[in-house]
């Protein structure tokens, strides 16, 4: 590797002494790590070591005798998997608290590793409201399936268990919804609409009373 070659060219240690591999039982990690680092510096001293070298702890336990061996080994880089990032592209209904205002159908496109809190920020910016003044709710068959907490990942919206749900952003009084609450009459569209898409731009009747736990 390039960095290995640079380190060898810049290494100030010309005669490398033999150093033992230190092992411990995990009781004196601080002392063992310091001694391991000193041994590493006896053979390696360069600007690459100063900036990029470190130690990682390796623990091996015997399944027969339960003996534990702990060593500290030098590293210059760590390989990490790159997570697959997908876009969540869905639509939601914005439902104002004021019943005289109309329900609006809106779409969003957010990366799956983001949190619901990011979705609330996007919605809040789109409708010029505080992100804490509404809840993101999943509704199916006129019943609340989930009230999504802000720390949950956006990937939950692709969960097969929540297939068939519709996303609503309800502007409501603080603490008016609780995740365990359910009310069959919470969402009651006018009977003249035959499918959920017909509600776009139409007023929606929302029960303002505090929901009662079933």
Are 109 and 189 within one domain? yes
In a domain? residue 57: yes
pLDDT of residue 31: 86
CB atoms within 10 A of CB 197: 10
pLDDT of residue 120: 94
Are 60 and 161 within one domain? no
pTM, to two decimals: 0.46
Residue 122's CATH number: 3.10.20.90
Cβ atoms of 154 and 89 closer than 8 Å: no
Are 121 and 44 within one domain? no
Are 54 and 99 within one domain? no
Along the 214 residues of the chain, how does pLDDT read in single tens digits?
Answer: 787 888 788 888 888 888 888 887 666 788 888 888 999 999 998 988 888 898 988 888 888 888 888 888 888 888 887 777 788 999 999 998 888 888 899 999 999 889 999 999 999 999 999 998 899 999 988 888 888 999 999 999 988 888 889 999 998 764 444 433 444 444 443 333 333 334 333 334 444 333 333 3
Which of 34, 54, 75 is where one domain is finished? Answer: 75
Q: What is the dihedral of CA 153, 154, 156, 158, to 10 degrees?
A: -150
pLDDT of residue 151: 92
């Amino acid at each position: 590797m390039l960095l290995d070659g640079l380190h060898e060219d810049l290494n100030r240690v010309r005669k490398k002494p033999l150093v033992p591999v230190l092992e411990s039982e995990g009781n004196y990690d601080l002392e063992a790590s310091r001694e391991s680092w000193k041994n590493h510096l006896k053979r390696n001293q360069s600007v690459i070591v100063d900036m990029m070298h470190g130690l990682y702890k390796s623990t091996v336990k015997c399944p027969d005798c339960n003996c534990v061996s702990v060593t500290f080994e030098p590293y210059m880089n760590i390989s990490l998997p790159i997570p697959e990032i997908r876009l969540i592209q869905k639509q939601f209904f914005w439902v104002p608290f004021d019943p005289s205002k109309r329900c609006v159908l809106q779409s969003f496109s957010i990366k799956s590793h983001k949190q619901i809190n990011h979705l609330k920020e996007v919605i809040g910016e789109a409708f010029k409201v505080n992100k804490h003044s509404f809840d993101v709710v999943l509704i199916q068959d006129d019943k609340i399936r989930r009230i999504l907490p802000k720390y949950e990942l956006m990937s939950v919206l692709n969960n097969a268990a929540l297939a068939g749900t519709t996303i609503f952003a309800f502007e409501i009084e603080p603490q008016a919804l609780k995740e365990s609450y359910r009310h069959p009459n919470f969402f009651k569209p006018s009977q003249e609409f035959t499918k959920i898409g017909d509600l776009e731009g139409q007023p929606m009747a929302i029960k303002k009373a505090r929901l009662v736990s079933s």
